[in-house]
Copies of this chain bind each other. A is one copy, B any other.
Amino acid sequence: MTEFATRALLPAGLRDILPPQAAHEADVVTRLMASFAAQGYERVKPPLIEFEESLLEGSGAAMSKHTFRVMDPVTQRMMGVRADMTPQVARIATTRLANARRPLRLSYAGQVLRVKGSQLRPERQFGQAGIELIGADSAAADAEVVILAAKALVDLGVGEVCVDLTLPSLVPEICSGLDEIDGLKDALDHKDVAAVAAVGGAIGPILCGLVEAAGPAVPALARLSAVPLSGNAAALRERLTAVVELVSSAAPELTLTIDPVEGRGFEYHTGPAFTIFARQSAAELGRGGRYQADGESAAGATLFMDTVLDVLPGPVAVRRIFLPFGTPFAEGQALRAEGWVTVAGLEKVADDRAESRRLACGHLLVAGGVIAA
């Protein structure tokens, strides 16, 4: 390899974001955070690294094998580089902000690092932006989080935003007290009704009913209502139904689907959970749901900046104007106040107009004012 190629080489899954994408990404994050702030979500900023045991506690445990470790030379203890910000925000809520009023609304945005990329997400570094609503356990709280995350994407310009709602604790609830049923999880994961019926025994019909209650929210909820559920399982269904109603009413532009048996990636969730997609892409834009944060019920949503940016229109081109060498600073300042991006000439050139074009400026400043380059 040449020296150039060696120096330019980055580890797989890591990349330099160049102009104009880097500014666009930052702008999108700023707009998302402004949406969250407008509904009372206050930003926190946890550190990039912290002690391994606090980073990987509770819901953070799922991230253990994705987490880079480094030794802290000060304490000789192991630290982890965060692979997910959600457990950090839950830690802040239940320690430093333990005495803050509830419900506590927090937002966050930052970079996370993962040891290896996955097939779905080859990137090993990407941005997260999200919200956590801690200490409120109601359909209104679940719905607020779904609406805020999904509508923030609509407001950014994501074409058709789809939310797939699920109840990851429903199947475990129905199966609780039963012996483990061989092959059931596989059959449910594959939505294989025949297999579920074959292995499900006494609860087979109920589980088949749940598998068949997947799809666009309104007809699927009608099918779900016909499944004979009781106790906690019925309460979960009631909660999901209420959330769908609240979300549809506040944000009719969202496409809602439900999939009551889907639990993959939601191992820690205790109530309604969801995944957000855009119609034009298979990639997840975000996910979230209800979980327990150290004894408090919480609902959160995380958006993934890499996939969000993929489905957004690109950045708008800026209006660049060339200021010939020697232009007084105040003249540039006046143009910038009008919204121009100024590009100053740093030495005298023979042809200012040609120089403007070379520097990708559509305009230049001359004695008479602004002219096209």
What residues of chain A have their CB less than 8 Å away from a CB belonging to chain B?
4, 6-20, 22-23, 25-26, 30, 33, 37-40, 42-51, 53-54, 57, 68-70, 72-75, 77, 79, 81, 88, 91-92, 94-98, 101, 103, 105-106, 108-111, 113, 115-116, 125, 136, 138, 140-141, 144, 147, 249-251, 318, 320, 325, 328-330, 332, 336, 340-344, 346-347, 358-360
Question: Which chain B residues border A106 with CB–CB below 8 Å?
Answer: 19
Nearest-neighbor residue (CB-CB) of A140 within chain B: B346
Q: Are A45 and B22 interface neighbours, CB within 8 A?
A: yes
Tell me the number of copies of this protein. 2
Nearest-neighbor residue (CB-CB) of A42 within chain B: B19
Q: Are B47 and A14 interface neighbours, CB within 8 A?
A: yes
Q: Are A16 and B92 interface neighbours, CB within 8 A?
A: yes
Q: How far is the CA of A74 from the CA of B91 in the complex (A)?
A: 31
Q: Are B147 and A39 interface neighbours, CB within 8 A?
A: no
Shortest C-beta distance, A352 to chain B (Å), equals 15
Q: Are A19 and B44 interface neighbours, CB within 8 A?
A: yes
**Known: A33-B26, A111-B48, A358-B101. Contact between A346 and B73, CB under 8 A?**
no
Extra contacts, 13 of them, besides A8-B96, A14-B47, A40-B343 (Cβ < 8 A), are: A4-B95, A4-B98, A9-B54, A10-B47, A10-B50, A11-B74, A13-B74, A18-B96, A20-B43, A38-B341, A68-B70, A74-B116, A111-B111
Chosen A-B contacts, 12 in total, with CB atoms closer than 8 Å, are: A7-B95, A9-B54, A16-B46, A18-B44, A48-B113, A49-B68, A136-B346, A138-B347, A140-B347, A141-B346, A147-B329, A250-B330
Q: How far is the CA of A10 from the CA of B251 in the complex (A)?
A: 40
Q: How far is the CA of A144 from the CA of B70 in the complex (A)?
A: 40
Q: How far is the CA of A211 from the CA of B328 in the complex (A)?
A: 33
Q: Are A16 and B37 interface neighbours, CB within 8 A?
A: no
Q: Are B336 and A51 interface neighbours, CB within 8 A?
A: no
Q: Are B54 and A344 interface neighbours, CB within 8 A?
A: no
Q: How far is the CA of A35 from the CA of B51 in the complex (A)?
A: 37
